[in-house]
Amino acid sequence: MEFSKDTPYDQCLSPAFVLDLNRLQKNLNLIKEVQELASIDIIMALKAFANWHLFPIIKDYVSGATASSLNEAKLINEYMGVKAHAYFVAYHPKEFKEVLACSSHITFNSISQYNRFKTEIEEHPHPISVGLRVNPEYSVVETDLYNPASPASRLGMVAANIIEWPEGIEGLHFHTLCESSSYDLEKTLQAVEEKFGQFLPQIKWVNMGGGHLMTKNDYSVKHLIETITNFKEKHQVEVILEPGAAFVWQTGELVSEVLDIHQSGVVQTLILDVSFTAHMPDTLEMPYRPTVLGQVPIEKAAFRYRLGGLSCLSGDYLEEYGFNQEIQIGDRIVFADMIHYTTVKSNMFNGVAHPSLLQWDGSQFQLLRSYNYEDYKKRMG
Ligand SMILES: Cc1ncc(COP(=O)(O)O)c(C=O)c1O
Domains of the chain (ranges; CATH) run 21-248 (3.20.20.10), 252-335 (2.40.37.10)
Q: Is pLDDT of 2 > 90?
A: no
Tell whether the model's pLDDT for residue 49 goes beyond 90: yes
Residues with CB under 6 A from ligand 1: 45, 47-48, 87, 175, 178, 209-211, 242-246
**Percentage of the chain modeled with pLDDT above 90:** 88
Give the pLDDT confidence score for residue 230 in this predicted structure: 98
Closest Cα partner for 216 from 167, 185, 265, 251? 251
pLDDT digits (tens, 9 = 90+) for 188-229: 999 999 999 999 999 999 999 999 999 999 999 999 999 999
Which residue's CA is minimally distant from atom 16 of ligand 1? 175
Q: Are 207 and 85 in contact (CB under 8 A)?
A: yes
Q: Specify the pLDDT at position 343.
A: 87
The residues, any chain, with a CB within 8 Å of residue 79's CB and separated by 6 or more, are 52, 55, 56, 59
Q: How much is the pLDDT for 37?
A: 98
CB 63 within 8 A of CB 85: no
**Which residue, judged by its Cα, is nearest atom 7 of ligand 1?**
210
Range name among 102-111, 330-339, 367-376 with the lowest pLDDT average: 367-376
366 CA to centre of ligand 1 in angstroms: 37
Helix (H, G, I), strand (E, B) or coil at 301: coil
Chain-wide mean pLDDT for the chain?
95
Please report the atom of ligand 1 found closest to the CA of residue 173. 1
Q: Which atom of ligand 1 is nearest to the CA of 177?
A: 10
pLDDT tier at 363, thresholds 50, 70, 90? confident
> What is the 148 CA–ligand 1 centroid distance (Å)?
10
Query: Residue 32 has what pLDDT?
Result: 98
Share of the chain above pLDDT 70, in %: 100
Position 360 scores a pLDDT of: 82
How many residues are there in the chain? Answer: 381
**Per-residue pLDDT, 244:** 98
Which pLDDT score is estimated for 345? 86
Question: According to the model, what pLDDT value does residue 209 have?
Answer: 98
Across the range 123-146, mean pLDDT stands at: 95
pLDDT at 1 over 80: no
Distance 184 CA to ligand 1 centre (A): 15
Q: Model confidence over 173-199: pLDDT tens digits?
A: 999 999 999 999 999 999 999 999 999
pLDDT category of residue 107 using cuts at 50, 70 and 90: very high
Query: What atom in ligand 1 is closest to the CA of residue 245?
Result: 9
Whether pTM exceeds 0.75:
yes
Please give the average per-residue pLDDT across 7-25, as a whole number: 92
What pLDDT is stored for residue 40 in this prediction? 98
Q: What is the bridge-based pairing of β-strands 41-42 and 238-241?
A: parallel
Alpha carbons 189 and 135: distance in angstroms, whole number: 12
* Nearest Cα residue to 70 out of 381, 371, 330: 371
Q: What is the mean pLDDT of residues 368-375?
A: 91
Write the pLDDT tens digit of every residue in 223-265. Answer: 999 999 999 999 999 999 999 999 999 999 999 999 999 999 9
Crossing angle, helix 373-380 and helix 70-80, to 10 degrees?
60
- The CA 179 to ligand 1 mean position distance, Å, reads 9
Alpha carbon 367 to chain centroid distance? 32
Over residues 82-103, the pLDDT tens digits come to: 999 999 999 999 999 999 999 9
Q: What average pLDDT score do residues 58-68 get?
A: 98
Task: Give the residue, by CA position, lying nearest to ligand 1 atom 13.
Answer: 210
What's the confidence (pLDDT) of residue 227?
Answer: 98
Q: Which of 33-37, 38-42, 89-93, 365-369 has the lowest mean pLDDT?
A: 365-369
